[in-house]
Amino acid sequence: MLKSAHGAFTLMEVLLAIALIAAMAGFAAIGTAVFSERPLKSRPPDRVFLSALKLGQSEAAAKGRKMSLRYDDGAFVIEDASDKSIVAKVWLSPEIEEAAKAKQQDIGIEIPKADVAVSIVPQYPEVIGSVSVEFPDENLACIEISPDGTCTPANVSFSLGGEDPFTIVLDPVSAAQLEIRK
């Protein structure tokens, strides 16, 4: 006579299933870490800038205060505009970030130079006719980001290793990239 099978799992089957799920979760975590670190090493500075701008927008909205975004030799720095405290730094590469952290601990460490020039140029409205309005000719030190997500009207220029610069035109209302000019 054959025994009828009950619809239950044995303890061994349950433990095996848990072990398989844990192993798959471990591989997924390792794969995610490797996957997320690789693009950071090769992402261009304009993409890093746009990431920093979005982070600045979310920080301004979360804190309900104006933030400023500036470039400081290898990192885009997000500061609270009222007290100038640094909220976050978005580094161009993990190597520069690691060297900067090591320099804080040891005076002998030299930070690798980022071969990127960034300038923030005011974006002026198109003036029809001859209106006597004077605009400053100099570059801006930072982009101001309001809690509502709007930012300083600006064009951000990047030059990589002395090559011809390219410029991102920002939409001041959404702080999104409108176009890239070469």
CATH number at residue 74: 3.55.40
Any domain includes 21: no
Any domain includes 90: yes
Mean pLDDT of 41-52: 79
Any domain includes 60: yes
Pairing state between β 67-71 and 86-91: unpaired
Angle of the 94-105 helix axis to the 11-42 helix axis, nearest 10? 90
pTM: 0.65
Any domain includes 18: no
Any domain includes 102: yes
Any domain includes 113: yes
> What is the count of structural domains for the chain?
1
Bridge partners of residue 90, in order along the sequence: 76
- Cα angle 30, 34, 37 (rounded to 5 degrees) comes to 135
End-to-end Cα separation, the chain, in angstroms: 83
Any domain includes 114: yes
Cα–Cα distance, 16 to 38 (Å, whole number): 33
Any domain includes 22: no
Coil vs helix vs strand at 20: helix
pLDDT in tens, 87-120: 999 888 777 777 777 766 665 556 556 678 888 8
What pLDDT, on a 0 to 100 scale, did the predictor assign at position 79? 94
The boundaries of the domain holding residue 176 are 44-126+137-181
